[in-house]
């Protein structure tokens, strides 16, 4: 008996979905796009992390600091970014921008990575920008 009810409810749901899709087409309402695919996230378990990087992470991480690994698109290095946990946890924004200034491995080309982090410390997006210093 329950199987018949389940089949009927599934049929009703499909009919409603088809009807909504037809109405949206008639009204020229665009379909909802698919969510973007998440890139592979870099973590401590990621293969190919150097022992230097792992020791840097251990040195930076503390009770009140979370280290986030990010691949810099300019210098193509994996960089540990120390973030004070309170900045993220106490923010009213759902996605918090954090900027981190660093140099490439050859100590030239100072640039900045702006990370947009959610409250789980997941990187939602990142941007690279040049840094101009006022030396006065």
Query: Do 66 and 109 reside in the same domain of the chain?
Result: yes
Number of domains in the chain: 2
**Is residue 41, in this structure, part of any structural domain at all?**
no
Model pLDDT for residues 77-111, shown as the tens digit of each residue: 888 899 999 999 999 999 999 999 988 766 678 88
Query: Do 28 and 62 reside in the same domain of the chain?
Result: no
Residue 131 pLDDT grade (very low, low, confident, very high; cuts 50, 70, 90): confident
- E strands of the chain, at which residues? 65-71, 78-84, 96-102, 111-117, 123-130
Structural domain including 23 reads: 1-33
Nearest to 72 by CA among 101, 52, 36: 101
Element (H, E) at 102: strand 96-102
**Is residue 102, in this structure, part of any structural domain at all?**
yes
Distances (CA, A) of 129 to 52, 57, 98: 26, 24, 13
Burial class of residue 117 (count of CB atoms within 10 Å of its CB; 0-12, 13-18, 19+): buried
pTM score, two decimals?
Answer: 0.61
The rounded mean pLDDT for the chain is: 78
> Could you tell me which residues are beta bridge partners of residue 128?
113
């Amino acid at each position: 008996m329950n199987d018949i009810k389940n089949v009927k409810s599934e049929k009703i749901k499909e009919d409603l979905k088809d009807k909504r899709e037809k109405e949206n087409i008639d009204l020229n309402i665009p379909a909802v796009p698919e969510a973007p695919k998440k890139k592979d996230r870099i973590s401590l378990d990621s293969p190919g992390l150097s022992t230097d990087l792992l020791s840097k992470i251990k040195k930076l991480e503390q009770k009140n600091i979370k280290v986030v690994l990010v691949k810099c698109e300019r210098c193509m290095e994996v960089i540990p970014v120390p973030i004070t946990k309170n900045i993220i946890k106490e923010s009213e924004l759902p996605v918090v921008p954090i900027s981190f200034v660093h140099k490439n491995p050859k100590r030239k080309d100072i640039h900045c990575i702006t990370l947009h982090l959610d409250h789980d410390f997941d990187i939602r997006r990142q941007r690279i920008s040049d840094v101009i210093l006022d030396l006065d």
